[in-house]
């Protein structure tokens, strides 16, 4: 067998379409044998929150307010033409109708294929979030230096 290739993705956007791109690339790469790492930072953290809808989580009034507005994986907005959250629902329906994997299916596939999830320590601190606010599949909480170390020698994408 050839030496394992590696893909590392920095997931910063909390937009529905960009998060779909993250999990499409992650699950596809893991399926063809890549080691895949995703480093979730700022709005990207929304997709790995334990709570998938809007909830006052985090420490501090401002953080709790922000996290309520941001929500979780099931209320991510489309980057364009969001129409108050209607478009992601319509888009998910279109994807199902055309037999294309939905965000939840891509997310579950990424977990099943053992994609490595990492959370950004600094962004968690700003948003008042702790490790307990994230799904248990999050492997570690990292900073830039550790992420660079684990992505070394592979391809890196910023989404």
Partner 1 sequence: MSTYNLDITRERCPMTFVKAKLHLEQLEPGDTTEILLTAGEPLDNVPRTATEQGYQVLESIHVRDNIHKLIIRKP
CA dist 129 and 102 (Å) reads 27
For residues 59 and 27, is the Cβ–Cβ distance under 8 A? no
Structure tokens at 64: 């709790």
Q: How far is the CB of 23 from partner 1 (least distance, A)?
A: 9
CB of 27 to partner 1, least distance (A): 5
Output the smallest distance, CB 158 to partner 1, in A.
20
Nearer to partner 1, 24 or 75 (CB): 24
106: Cβ–Cβ under 8 A, 6 or more apart, which residues?
Answer: 20, 23, 24, 26, 27
Count the alpha carbons within 13 Å of 106 in the hemisphere toward its beta carbon. Answer: 25
Among 7, 9, 22, 30, interactor with partner 1 by CB under 8 A: 30
Among 101, 123, 141, 157, binds partner 1 (CB under 8 A): 101
Does position 33 interact with partner 1 (CB under 8 A)? The reply is yes
Torsion, Cα 15 34 140 120, to 10 degrees, reads -40
Is residue 19 close enough to count as binding partner 1 by CB under 8 A?
no
Residue 24 in the binding site for partner 1 (CB under 8 A): yes
In angstroms, what is the minimal distance from the CB of 31 to partner 1?
4
| Other Cβ atoms closer than 10 A to 75 | 16
28 part of the interface to partner 1, by CB under 8 A: yes
Considering just the CA atoms, what is the radius of gyration of the chain in Å? 16
Asked if 46 interacts with partner 1 (CB under 8 A), we say: no
- The footprint of partner 1 (CB under 8 A) covers 1-2, 24-25, 27-28, 30-33, 98-101, 105-106, 109, 112-113
């Amino acid at each position: 067998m050839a030496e394992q290739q590696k893909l590392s993705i920095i997931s910063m956007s909390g937009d529905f379409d960009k998060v779909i791109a993250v999990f499409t690339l992650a699950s596809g790469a893991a399926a063809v044998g890549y080691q895949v790492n995703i480093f979730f930072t700022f709005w990207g953290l929304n997709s790995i929150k334990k709570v998938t809808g809007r909830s006052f989580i985090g420490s501090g009034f401002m953080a709790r307010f922000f996290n309520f507005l941001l929500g979780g994986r099931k209320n991510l907005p489309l980057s364009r033409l969001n129409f108050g959250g209607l478009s992601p629902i319509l888009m998910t329906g279109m994807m199902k109708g055309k037999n294309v994997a939905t965000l939840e299916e891509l997310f579950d596939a990424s977990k099943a294929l053992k994609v490595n999830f990492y959370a950004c320590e600094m962004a968690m601190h700003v948003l008042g979030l702790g490790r307990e606010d994230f799904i248990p599949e999050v492997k570690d909480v990292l900073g830039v230096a550790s992420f660079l170390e684990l992505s070394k020698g592979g391809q890196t994408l910023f989404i």
